[in-house]
Amino acid sequence: MARRPDLVGLTVLAMLSVRAGHPYELHRFIVDTHKDYVTGLPRSLYHAVERLAGEELIVPVETSREGRRPERTVYEITDEGRRELATRLRVLLENPGAERRTFTAAVSLLGVLPVPDALQSLRTRAAALEGALTGMNAQLKALKDSGLPDILVIEIDYERALTETELAWVRGLVARLESGELEWSSAAEAKPLAQVLGET
């Protein structure tokens, strides 16, 4: 059985690739931007930070305490962490899987990739979706030609409809990136996460 992708770790790497931050800031950003694919907060986030630090994909750069608040450690991503982030994200973008939540996560973090890499990954996914559609269409035709009633293969038709919709969306996203319509910078890149979140 294939290991499920670490969406919490991926999200931490993506956020730290924009700007260094401490886990509380990361937690607030995940909640405030509705990255609902991240589950088990806050424990899953703190475990991911510990795991990534243990793998030296992120490193602590500063520890501070304000008043009676708990001590906060600020982390930044390493060069190895950036490479790992790009690799993990490209894999999730390029390979249509059974779990659509995974693709939602990958799309939500797409902006951390350079535009050419994002385009290549999305084109690869589009080609895979086209192949899947060809296979489903052939399977449906063979089943119908065998005399099987449509009602017995309705789930294949449903999957085909979802795949067609996803393919159209991916092609539209590629077109928006190619034309420059989709802006590739964000407010998070312009200022620290704490300011983005309005933390005092």
List, for residues 56-87, the tens digit of each pLDDT value: 999 999 887 776 777 889 999 999 999 999 99
Confidence of residue 191 (pLDDT cuts 50, 70, 90): very low
Amino acid 194: pLDDT: 44
Answer whether residue 120 shows pLDDT above 60.
Answer: yes
> Of the segments 4-13, 40-49, 91-100, 126-135, which one has the largest average pLDDT value?
126-135
Q: What is residue 33's three-state secondary structure? A: coil
Supply 188's token pair: 């998070």
Q: Is the pLDDT of residue 187 over 50?
A: no
Q: Which residues of 140-177 are buried (b: 16+ CB within 10 A; e: fewer)?
A: beeeeeeeeeeeeeeeeeeebeebeebbeebeebbeeb
What is the distance in angstroms between the CA of the first residue and the CA of the last residue of the chain? 46
pLDDT band at 135 (very low <50, low <70, confident <90, very high): very high
pLDDT of residue 66: 73
